[in-house]
Amino acid sequence: MDTPYEVQHVLIAKSTEAILRITSTQPIFFRAPLLKISPPTYEILAKHGYLVDSSVPARRYDFGAGSVSNLKSFMKPTKPYYVSTRYGNMLEIPPSACILPLNMRMLRTFPFTFVYCFSALLARIHHPLVFYLHPAEYVPTQDMKIPQGFYKGFYDNCGPHNFTVLERFLTLLQAWGLRSEFMARTLTLAQGNPETA
């Protein structure tokens, strides 16, 4: 069930204001909690000055085991594309997935051989290759305060040892000739032509 427009508007306005107050910088990139985004969300984001979203889980499906089970999202493009709003276009940069997502949870759950092969597949179909993580994944589980209603299993095997896991993964991507870029560069490349990103 989608969060009502009015609730989304209040939450996004408050969080945007907090980020601006703390950082003195207008946020322009957004990732929806649990990748739950709907058409009204784009309108609200664009109204508040956001230019890029990375929440549409193209080619990801959790089969009821997670938060992503929307076939419409599954069929969306894997390359960056524009979403039209009343306040201007927003660039959508889908997180990389092929049923499973390419994220830190994958790195801390699956053997490295699987991650290697899976990443090689995704690198062929996702441009750019989008990897994401949560800061909580580097905090020891016993030190966390898990919000009520959140699946506790998500936080299995979290802790500072994941820095080593991440470093190994990034070294693999570097060996393949892939380089890390800020999404701001992708936005710059895509201005006027998302196919160039």
CA distance 154 to 88: 36
Long-range contacts formed by 149-156: CB under 8 A, 24+ apart: 154/105, 156/108, 156/109
pTM of the model: 0.83
**DSSP SS3 for 52:** strand
- Copy the structure tokens of residue 117: 């092969």
Give the residue extent of every domain in the chain.
Answer: 5-196
The per-residue pLDDT for 194 is: 53
On whether the CB atoms of residues 43 and 52 are closer than 8 A, the answer is: no
CA distance 18 to 26: 10
Q: Could you tell me which of 20, 24, 21, 23 has the C-alpha nearest to residue 48?
A: 20
Q: What are 75-129's pLDDT values in tens digits?
A: 899 999 999 999 999 999 999 999 999 999 999 999 999 999 999 999 888 888 8
Q: Give φ, ψ of 41 to 5 degrees.
A: -60, -40
CA distance 50 to 75: 24
Spans of the chain, pLDDT less than 70: 1, 64-67, 182-197
CA distance 27 to 16: 7
Q: What sign results for the dihedral spanned by CA atoms 18, 19, 21, 26?
A: negative
CA distance 166 to 133: 10
**DSSP SS3 for 92:** strand
Question: What is each CA distance from 69 to 60, 74, 132, in whole angstroms?
Answer: 8, 8, 19
The per-residue pLDDT for 197 is: 42
User: Look-up: residue for tokens 């299993």?
Assistant: 153
